[in-house]
Each structure stands twice: as C-alpha cells, then as structure tokens.
Amino acid sequence: MTPSIACVGSARLRVVGPVIVNGACDERFATVKQAMASNLTSGADLGCSVAVVHEGELVVDLWGGHIDEARLLPWSRDTVTCVFSTTKVMTALCMLVLADRGDVDLHAPVAHYWPEFADAGKDRVELRHILSHTAGLPTWSETVSVDDLLDWERVTSLLAAQPPCWEPGTAMGYHAVTYGYLVGEVVRRVTGQSVGRFFADEIAAPVDVDFHIGTPESVDPRIAPVIPPEPGDDLGDPDSLARRVFTNPAVSPQELMSTAFRRAEIPAANGVGNARSCSR
C-alpha cells in the first residue's frame, strides 16, 4: 500500500540556526525527519508539520519551526494553517462518499442534480468532468472580486450561466478556485448541506480529524498565518487563460487571513488543517 504523506506549512527563505523537530517518527522513516530538520534549519521552511500514514498506522507525526517571521512563536502539535488546494482533496472526498452510497452517479450530467447548470451548452457536462478539471470552467467569464468569493449564490450562479471554455471532457485545465464551487454545489443540491458542513459531519467527525472548510472561531488561536513567498510572476502571457484563472480574483495574504475568508466555505482553496489531519 502506498503511504499517505502530507506536509503543510508556510515558508520564506532565510538562513537560521538549528531547529528542534518535535513529535514521533518510526525509525524506518528517519530520513523524513532529517529532511524536515534540514529544511527548517536552512530556512527553506519557516514552520511546518509532516505526517505519514502507512498501512493504516501513523508512522510519522512531526512538527517544528515557527509560525511567525520573527521566530518567536513555535509551531505546536495542534497548529493548523490554510492548506490551499489540498482542500480540493477533501471536497472531492465528499462527492466520492455520495457516489459510494449511490446518491450520485459520476457519469450523470451535473444538470441532473443542478438544473440551472444546463445553460449555455453545458447539459452534457458530467460529474466526472467537474471532479477531473475537464469541465471547461477553470475561471469565471465575468470579473469577480474577493467579496464575490464569499457569496456562494453569486459565484455558483455565474458558473451555471456561462459557457465552457472548451468542449467538456476533451481537455484538462486546472480549475483553481471554481472546482470547489462546482463540486460543492452538487453536494449541496443532493444533501441539503453545504460542502463544509457535510465534510465536518460525514468525514472529519467519524475519524476525528482537525480539518475545516469554513473554520469556526474556536480554531482561530491555533492558525498559523500565511506568510507570502518572495514576489514573482510565472503566469506567462498577460492575456492568457492561465493568468485569468489565478488572478480572477487575486487574493492577498491579508485577505486570506481575514475573519470573513476563514468563516467562508471556499472548497478549493481555504481549508484549514495540519499534516496529521490531511494524512488521516
């Protein structure tokens, strides 16, 4: 069985002194601990957690470093942080649970569960297409704001109304933010629950994992802030679809850590957890 491995953290390169790595590590995975310590000591990572589940056993459960650039606040056992697109895994699990129960058919049209979605030639888009980034809806046709991301009805209605960018199922393109709304709206239509609520009740609670899509206030004191990387631009042509995918809208670290953003369910991007919860 392939191990389930997760590493989450925030980083900005700066050379520092030796850093203590806490937690437990099976001796068979000693090199994992060594690599983590090396990254933290060099400054490649500021703080992080690493976990490995092998054949059902948590064989690596490590954490270390700091949650602040001044390196005054340690990363603790229960520190969590925004894990960005790892949230997509949890959102996909919600759909797969429904498929496993027979509540949805992954080869059925999305419009079977979400009738408005049939607009603009999308009547043959299937659930498997939205799960596999092949639906042709990698971003919105209209310009959307960060505030729009907090308005579930608005952003899902826009997706339902717009035509796909390519023939669904014929090509793959990363649905960086739209993924969560597409899958999440089907979950909502089928269960009557938001995807964050369904995940909490049906996936997180039964296995007691510390992962949240829409983070409650009680978790706030344990959240490590997002520290942005050094500025860079590798999105290519300013007029490209790729640039629009990642900049419509562009979310700053300050907005990402806002209370409104934490409380919202943005099921492709704003999940909060740690490596232990992701691996389990």
On whether residue 222 sits in a domain, the answer given is no
In this structure, is the dihedral angle defined by the CA atoms of residues 234, 236, 239 and 240, taken in order, positive or negative?
A: negative
Based on the domain organization, do 43 and 17 belong to the same domain? Answer: yes
Query: Of 108 and 17, which is predicted with more confidence?
Result: 108
On whether residue 162 sits in a domain, the answer given is yes
Based on the domain organization, do 106 and 191 belong to the same domain? Answer: yes
According to the model, what pLDDT value does residue 80 have? 98
181-211 tens-digit pLDDT: 999 999 999 999 999 999 999 999 999 999 9
The stretch 166-171 carries a mean pLDDT of: 97
Based on the domain organization, do 136 and 63 belong to the same domain? Answer: no
Among 77, 105, 126, residue at a domain's last position = 77
Q: Encode burial over 230-252: b for 16+ CB neighbours within 10 A, e otherwise.
A: eeeeeeeeeeeebbbbbebbebe
What residue type is assigned to position 104 of the chain?
A: V
On whether residue 219 sits in a domain, the answer given is no
Among 52, 77, 102, residue at a domain's last position = 77
Based on the domain organization, do 122 and 8 belong to the same domain? Answer: no
**In this structure, what CATH number is given to the domain that contains residue 106?**
3.40.710.10
Based on the domain organization, do 171 and 102 belong to the same domain? Answer: yes
Based on the domain organization, do 138 and 242 belong to the same domain? Answer: yes
Q: Inform me whether the pLDDT recorded for 16 exceeds 80.
A: no
On whether residue 14 sits in a domain, the answer given is yes
Pick from 10, 67, 81, 78: nearest CA to 262:
81
Based on the domain organization, do 107 and 151 belong to the same domain? Answer: yes
CB distance 141 to 98 below 8 Å: no
Based on the domain organization, do 73 and 105 belong to the same domain? Answer: no
Q: Inform me whether the pLDDT recorded for 20 exceeds 90.
A: no
- Cα 215 from Cα 266, distance rounded (Å): 11
Based on the domain organization, do 8 and 111 belong to the same domain? Answer: no
Show the domain range for 125.
Answer: 86-208+236-252+260-268
Structure tokens at 92: 């996909």
CB distance 16 to 43 below 8 Å: yes
Based on the domain organization, do 96 and 55 belong to the same domain? Answer: no
According to the model, what pLDDT value does residue 251 have? 87
Based on the domain organization, do 97 and 155 belong to the same domain? Answer: yes
On whether residue 273 sits in a domain, the answer given is no
CB distance 278 to 83 below 8 Å: yes
How far apart, in Å, are the Cα atoms of 168 and each of 110, 173, 241? 12, 10, 16
CB distance 128 to 106 below 8 Å: yes
Pick from 180, 161, 171, 164: nearest CA to 124:
164
Out of 10, 38, 42, 85, which one is annotated catalytic?
A: 85
**85 part of the active site:** yes
Query: Residue 11: pLDDT band by 50, 70, 90 thresholds?
Result: very low
On whether residue 220 sits in a domain, the answer given is no
Based on the domain organization, do 13 and 111 belong to the same domain? Answer: no
Pick from 9, 122, 126: nearest CA to 64:
9
Among 36, 56, 77, residue at a domain's last position = 77
According to the model, what pLDDT value does residue 8 have? 72
On whether residue 217 sits in a domain, the answer given is no
- Measured between its terminal Cα atoms, the distance across the chain in Å is 14
64-97 tens-digit pLDDT: 999 998 999 999 999 999 999 999 999 999 999 9
213-253 tens-digit pLDDT: 999 999 999 999 988 776 666 666 778 999 999 999 988 87
Pick from 71, 69, 82, 77: nearest CA to 51:
77
- Cα 47 from Cα 274, distance rounded (Å): 11
Percent of the chain topping pLDDT 90: 82
On whether residue 45 sits in a domain, the answer given is yes
| Count of domains forming the chain | 2
